[in-house]
Amino acid sequence: MADLTRRSLFGCACCGVLAGARAASAAPGAETGYPQALELGTTGMSRIAPTVWVARIALGVFLYTTTTVIDGGIYYPANGLILERDEGALLVDTTYSPDQAGTLLAWSRQLARPISLAVATHFHFDRTGGIPALRKAGVRTLAHPLTCVLARAHGLPVPEPIADFDGGHHDIGPDLQLYFPGAGHTRDNVVAWCPRQQILFGGCLIKSSTSPSLGNVADAVLADWPASVRRVRARYQAAKCVVPGHGTVTGDPIATTLSLLAKA
Whole-number Å distance between alpha carbons of 216 and 106? 31
Choose the catalytic residue: 79, 93, 175, 216. Answer: 216
Residue 101: how many other CB atoms lie within 10 Å: 31
Return the bridge partners of 75, or none: 69
Query: 108: which DSSP letter?
Result: G
Is residue 185 flagged as an active site residue?
A: yes
Is residue 122 flagged as an active site residue?
A: yes
Choose the catalytic residue: 93, 185, 219, 241. Answer: 185
Whole-number Å distance between alpha carbons of 71 and 74? 7
Choose the catalytic residue: 12, 15, 93, 122. Answer: 122
Is residue 79 flagged as an active site residue?
A: no
Choose the catalytic residue: 12, 14, 79, 124. Answer: 124
Is residue 246 flagged as an active site residue?
A: yes
Where does 14-97 have alpha helices with state H? none
Nearest of 85, 114, 87, 113 to residue 101 by alpha carbon: 114
Is residue 154 flagged as an active site residue?
A: no
Choose the catalytic residue: 15, 79, 126, 189. Answer: 126
Whole-number Å distance between alpha carbons of 256 and 212? 9
Choose the catalytic residue: 12, 194, 204, 241. Answer: 204
Q: Is 14 left (phi over 0), alpha (psi -120 to 50) or beta?
A: left
Is residue 124 flagged as an active site residue?
A: yes
> Can you point out the beta strands (E) in 59-190?
61-70, 74-83, 89-92, 115-119, 140-143, 160-161, 168-172, 176-180
Output the CA–CA distances (angstroms, integers) from residue 89 to 80, 84, 113, 142, 154, in the order listed. 13, 4, 6, 14, 29
Nearest of 18, 9, 8 to residue 185 by alpha carbon: 18
Q: Residues, the chain, total?
A: 264
Query: 52: which DSSP letter?
Result: E
Choose the catalytic residue: 194, 207, 219, 241. Answer: 207
Residues annotated as part of the active site: 122, 124, 126, 185, 204, 207, 216, 246
